[in-house]
């Protein structure tokens, strides 16, 4: 008698097809922009007809949802890696290390950053499951900033706005360059002065 299969091959094929569709959607986003992703373009890249995508994703927004969750999970992984290397005791340096980890992740992929941080479509709203890594990024940041004495919600918002604003300025004015990346330490230093560090 043959042994029982250890893997559900249908589920594995379905998961692989979903990964391929998401990868194709990222390719389209990188070529045309995140808001310009169409089911036809994605289907063409994976060798399907657009209606066949519906057997894997209910809509284009469902593809966006999967991409959104993937993007924020990657951000969470990048910030955890920075924190796991050990944050310095100096609050200014610790704020800079975490800010730089986010900055570098965000500017590395403009389409991904747009999906994460801009309203790309009036009818797209991420599901709670896809939004969970975003909340985890916020909580990780809150935890590490609290360790150095930044605990007020308004201060967390300001830190986020300064780093995010530098990301936006970099992508808008000097994509692939260093113009605003060079300002990160200075901007965080001004924040640290304001926070009294």
* pLDDT tens by residue, the chain, 197 residues: 455 555 688 888 889 999 999 999 999 999 999 999 999 999 999 999 988 999 999 999 999 999 999 999 999 999 999 999 988 889 999 999 999 999 999 999 999 999 999 989 889 999 999 999 999 999 999 998 898 889 999 999 999 999 999 999 999 999 999 999 999 999 999 999 999 88
Between vectors from CA 194 to CA 190 and to CA 197, what angle results, nearest 5°? 90
pLDDT of residue 2: 56
Q: Does domain 61-195 have CATH number 1.10.3720.10?
A: no
CB count within 10 Å of CB 170 equals: 24
DSSP state letter for 104: H
- Judge residue 75's burial from the number of C-beta atoms within 10 Å of its C-beta, 0-12 exposed, 13-18 middle, 19 or more buried: buried
Residue-range domain boundaries for the chain: 1-57, 61-195
At the topology level of CATH, where does 1-57 sit? Answer: Arc Repressor Mutant, subunit A (1.10.10)
pLDDT of residue 27: 97
pLDDT of residue 4: 55
Where are any strands of DSSP class E within 50-98?
A: none
pLDDT of residue 3: 55
Find the radius of gyration of the CA atoms of the chain: 20
pLDDT of residue 71: 98
């Amino acid at each position: 008698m043959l042994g029982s299969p250890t893997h559900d091959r249908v589920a594995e094929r379905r998961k692989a097809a979903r990964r391929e569709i998401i990868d194709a959607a990222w390719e389209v986003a990188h070529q045309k922009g995140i808001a310009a992703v169409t089911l036809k373009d994605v289907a063409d890249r994976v060798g399907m007809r657009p209606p066949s995508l519906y057997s894997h994703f209910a809509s284009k927004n469902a593809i966006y949802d999967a991409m959104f969750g993937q993007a924020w999970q990657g951000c969470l992984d990048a910030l955890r890696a920075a924190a796991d290397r050990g944050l310095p005791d100096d609050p200014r340096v610790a704020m800079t290390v975490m800010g730089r980890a986010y900055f570098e992740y965000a500017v590395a992929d403009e389409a991904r950053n747009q999906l994460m941080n801009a309203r790309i479509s009036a009818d797209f709203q991420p599901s709670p499951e896809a939004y969970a890594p975003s909340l985890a990024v916020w909580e990780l940041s809150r935890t590490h900033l609290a360790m150095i004495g930044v605990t007020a919600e308004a201060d967390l918002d300001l830190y986020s706005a300064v780093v995010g604003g530098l990301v936006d300025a970099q992508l808008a004015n000097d994509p692939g360059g260093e113009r605003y990346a060079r300002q990160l330490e200075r901007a965080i230093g001004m924040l640290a002065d304001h926070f009294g560090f």
